[in-house]
Amino acid sequence: MTSYHLHLVSDATGETISSVTRACLVQFSGIEPVEHVWSLVRTRSQMDRVIAGIQKYPGPVLFTLVNEDLRTKLVEETRELGIPTIPVLDGVIHALAAYFGLPISGKPGLQHVMDTEYFERIEAMNYTLSHDDGQSTAQLKDADVILVGVSRTSKTPTCIYLANRGIKAANIPYVPGIPLPQDLFRIDGPLVIGLTKEPQSLVQVRRQRLNMLDEHAGHTDYVDPEKVRDEVQEARRLFARKGWPSIDVTRRSIEETAATIMTYYSRHRAQEAG
């Protein structure tokens, strides 16, 4: 592994630039980035400290700065050092400004203002945590999305990811021999999605889980390949019978599963508004 210093400079919290940078870095193998995160950089004295850090540990600079004075200072001084600077959001912002025909405000940190969207995310998170693993089914009608899935299909982390996007998500486990709550079948507003996994992969994940918990007795059906295969088939038949879209999460990350769910949800909302 070859180490490289990487400087991430932002006039806000730095979350955006960190996310973009990590999404790009996964495309390169054999490197070990050493990230220097410089957040809330809004004065010349703060920028002086950033430049001093870049001089000490030279490496590419990615930045999200809207203040022209600070941008100019950073670009000019790093140019003298022979270090490239990359304005991460410039292309997107200027393209949108041209399309909307509107000026750019130039105010840092606007995406983190405590607006209605922020409080919607908090409300969604509270709802999701209160309706995890089949809890409080009487309030399922208030959900945006309900995930029904066999054990170990990442229902809870997927719901939490969705809640961070402002989507109120509940989840209900599908367990052979145990009826799903009747409240699930009395609602028509929320989008219900089924989650499954390839039986072989499911058995492997469940065995790892039991080993972590040091629980072996009384779980033979839980990891029995034939029983698990039947369980997955039953779940898939149920989802098809109810007309619920289903997602096989075997080769999907939580983010990929959530992205697919959000696509389904957008279509669902469009049809309801339709």
Residue 204 pLDDT > 70, yes or no? yes
Q: Where are the domains of the chain?
A: 2-112, 116-273
Share of the chain above pLDDT 70, in %: 93
Band of residue 9 on the pLDDT scale cut at 50, 70, 90? very high
pLDDT reading at 47 higher than 80 = yes
In 10 A of CB 124, how many CB atoms? 22
- How far out from the chain centre does Cα 266 lie? 16
**252 marked among binding-site residues:** no
Q: Dihedral angle at the C-alpha atoms of 41, 46, 48, 52, nearest 10 degrees?
A: -80
Q: What is the mean pLDDT of residues 128-157?
A: 95
Secondary-structure class of domain 2-112 per CATH = alpha beta
Is 60 exceeded by the pLDDT of residue 116?
yes
- Is 209 annotated to bind ligand? no
Question: How much is the average pLDDT of 77-102?
Answer: 86
Flag whether 250 is marked binding: no
Q: Is 182 exposed, middle or buried (0-12, 13-18, 19+ CB in 10 A)?
A: exposed
151 is in an annotated binding site: yes
- Residue at 256: amino acid letter: E
Q: What is the pLDDT of residues 213-259, one digit of tens each?
A: 765 545 578 999 999 999 999 999 999 999 999 999 999 999 999 99
Domains 2-112 and 116-273 share a fold: yes
The residue ranking higher by pLDDT, 37 or 109, is 37
Task: Taking residues 197-203, report their average pLDDT.
Answer: 95
- C-beta separation of 246 from 236 below 8 A: yes
pLDDT at 13 over 90: no
Mean per-residue pLDDT of the chain = 89
CB 62 within 8 A of CB 7: yes
Whole-number Å distance between alpha carbons of 268 and 249: 21
Is 150 annotated in a binding site? The answer is yes
| pLDDT recorded at residue 106 | 65
SS3 content of the chain, % helix, strand, coil (to 5): 55, 15, 30
249 is in an annotated binding site: no
What is residue 14's predicted lDDT score, i.e. its pLDDT?
82
What is the pTM assigned to this prediction?
0.65
Q: What is the pLDDT of residue 171?
A: 97
246 forms beta bridges with: 194
Place of tokens 């909302």: 269
Q: Enumerate helices (H) and strands (E) in the chain, giving the number of each.
A: 10, 8
**Is residue 20 a known part of a binding site?**
no
> Does the domain spanning 116-273 belong to CATH 1.10.3470?
no
154 is in an annotated binding site: yes
Phi/psi of residue 116, nearest 5 degrees: -60, -40
End-to-end alpha-carbon separation of the chain, Å?
54
Sign of CA dihedral 271, 272, 273, 274: positive
Q: Which pLDDT score is estimated for 74?
A: 96
